[in-house]
Amino acid sequence: MGAEVAFDGFDFTPGAQVPLSGSAGQTAATFALASAAYRDNAVEEILKADNDWHKSTVKPGKIKLFAPNLGEAFARAVQDRMLGVGRKPLIQSFGTEPQVVVEHCLAANRIRRERDNWLSAVMVLCGLLFLPGLLVWLLVFQIRTQIAKREDKRASALATTLLVAVGALAVLFLIRMPFTGFWAWYARAAILLPVVGWLWAKQICERTAKDLRDRWDSLLSGGGIGAKIPEAVPGSPGETAAERLRQSLARLTAEQQSNSVFYAGPKGILGMGTRWGAWQLAEDLVARDADKEIHPFRSWDVIRSIHDQLRMLERGPLNTGGFPAPSIKHWVVTPIGENAKAVSRPAGTDVDAYTIKTHAIQDICNKQQFGSGDRHYLGVQWTLWDGQLIITMLITVTVLHETLRIEVTGHALGPVNPLFTTKPEAPTKEVAKAVKFWETRKVNLPLVTTDEVVRLTARAPFTWYPPFLNWLGGTLTLPEPFGLRHAWADQPWRHRFMADDALRAATPVLRVVHAAAIRVLEENGVNTEKFGTRSAFLSTAVQDPMPRKADLYDA
């Protein structure tokens, strides 16, 4: 453990440790996404959470009985996608902590694995040893499931009638056995023991379901229940699996801190949202004094001045709250196709742990302003509403011939879909009152239904080999290029206050950017009269309260 371990260019020299979960004030979106790992809804529910740009896919399996629910499919898909060997690069999840979400997926999978171990034992003792009876009961439940899928209201009653009829035949078979001896007793056990196993399995399933629902509710209530993943802490140098998991979690955190992002056309910058506004100041560089030349300067000089002034955004002449401290960062933006299914992060000597070094960023800022290649943007980003709203203002400076252009663009990423913020509700049913039969009352139903017990018990022995279980029951395919935050983000414009926050941020940023840039131009002998006039015009235009689809060109 003391030796250095290299993995994909990232140095994992710190010793074994479990990363801390959550950071103050930015947990709502993180815990909402993490809660999906504990849910027991139908897996198709997640398709309703997809936005216009990113679509999940539910691939059905061969047998409906083995189909996963939302929590099982989500936790497994996220774990495989974000920690799997040879996985594709991920998109940063601004406003959330993807490692916390993955830790909860690992914890949920561990809870279900412990449950499946018990259910596997039940299946062996009460099922496989009495295989003929087990197959008959499974066939009955499979037929019942197929009937219940029909939209006909009578289908549910027909499915229940089928189960009652088979149960009656089983009782009759137990009483009037057609043969005697050992096989008579074995036949009785083959009919009876799977039912006993079902009762045992029901207790196990209900205990686990209550635990999972408690965790689901705690996350959405702000309790922030911790994810227990002891398998991520190597206990000895020989525990290679734990060490690989620890490295994968560290790699995930390093990739989250990367300063490389991707522009996917109308989809905007992946992870930051679509571009809703753009303001450009472009004027000729003319010397202030006719008998003197402009003092040479570069784009980086202007950007550095803007960077310094943006740090003052949280200060103001009045004590009225105002901006919280923003995150100010230099970004390298790579263009990709609108329908690209994967991204490729920069590599080489200019990259350290997925982060492009400052000297390489400076070269891109000064030289790559036209034609192919990556581009440099200075970003000022606010994470608001407990991580539910991400406002990003990007600034780029270009100099072509004698024209200097300063462009400010606004990007906004809205809250996670309401699917992830719904709390668990106890299953209930309305029934008529005994005396006042014209009135109804709600009665609580079992937390785990009969069909659910059968499904979980049938799946349990196959959880040891997930590929085969996926073939039997189906899988959830996450939208690519995948990032936890942008995959299920809604537009902020439907929320009045979120929209106001996004629109209000543009004007102060634009004015600070212009003031800092004009100061640099004046220091280097540039006539700033036209720049000042243009800046005043843009200050008026930016107050237009309408967000636009700036990434869609009407051409």
pLDDT digits (tens, 9 = 90+) for 51-91: 878 888 888 888 888 889 999 999 999 999 998 878 889 99
Helix residue spans in 176-313 (DSSP H): 182-220, 240-256, 299-310
Which tens digits make up the pLDDT trace of 392-404? 999 999 888 888 8
In three-state secondary structure terms, 380 is strand
> Does residue 441 fall inside a structural domain?
no
Place of tokens 């209000």: 504
pTM for this model (two decimals): 0.82
> Does residue 115 fall inside a structural domain?
no
How many whole angstroms separate alpha carbon 118 and alpha carbon 112? 10
Mean pLDDT, the chain, integer:
80
> Does residue 42 fall inside a structural domain?
no
How many whole angstroms separate alpha carbon 446 and alpha carbon 311? 56
**Are the CB atoms for 360 and 375 separated by under 8 Å?**
no
**Are the CB atoms for 94 and 391 separated by under 8 Å?**
no
Average pLDDT value for residue range 531-547: 68
Residue 219 token pair: 């996350």
Tell me which range, 12-26, 229-243, 373-387, is most confidently predicted by mean pLDDT: 373-387
> What region, left, alpha or beta, does residue 86 occupy, with left being phi > 0 and alpha being psi -120 to 50 degrees?
left
pLDDT value of position 4:
37
> Does residue 533 fall inside a structural domain?
yes
> Does residue 272 fall inside a structural domain?
yes
In the chain, the N- to C-terminal Cα span, in Å, equals 59
Cis peptide before 481 (omega within 30 of 0): yes
Report residue 158's pLDDT band, with 50, 70 and 90 as the boundaries: low
> Does residue 438 fall inside a structural domain?
no
Q: How many domains does one find in the chain?
A: 1
Average pLDDT value for residue range 227-236: 66
Lowest mean pLDDT among 154-158, 414-418, 473-477: 154-158
Closest CA to 392 of 123, 94, 70: 94
> Does residue 133 fall inside a structural domain?
no
CA separation (Å) from 420 to 67, 123, 390, 428, 536?
21, 33, 17, 21, 44
Lowest mean pLDDT among 137-141, 246-250, 309-313: 137-141
How many whole angstroms separate alpha carbon 155 and alpha carbon 3? 64
pLDDT value of position 109:
92
> Does residue 335 fall inside a structural domain?
yes
How many whole angstroms separate alpha carbon 196 and alpha carbon 419? 37
pLDDT value of position 33:
92
How many whole angstroms separate alpha carbon 485 and alpha carbon 101? 11
How many whole angstroms separate alpha carbon 548 and alpha carbon 555? 16
Q: How many CB atoms lie within 10 A of CB 203?
A: 13
**Are the CB atoms for 111 and 212 separated by under 8 Å?**
yes
Average pLDDT value for residue range 257-276: 89
Phi, psi of 480 (to 5 degrees): -115, 150
Domain encompassing residue 499: 260-417+491-541
* Sequence-separated (6 or more) residues with CB below 8 Å from residue 488: 33, 49, 50, 51, 54, 416, 417, 419, 420
Which tens digits make up the pLDDT trace of 423-468? 888 877 777 776 666 677 777 778 888 788 888 888 888 888 888 9
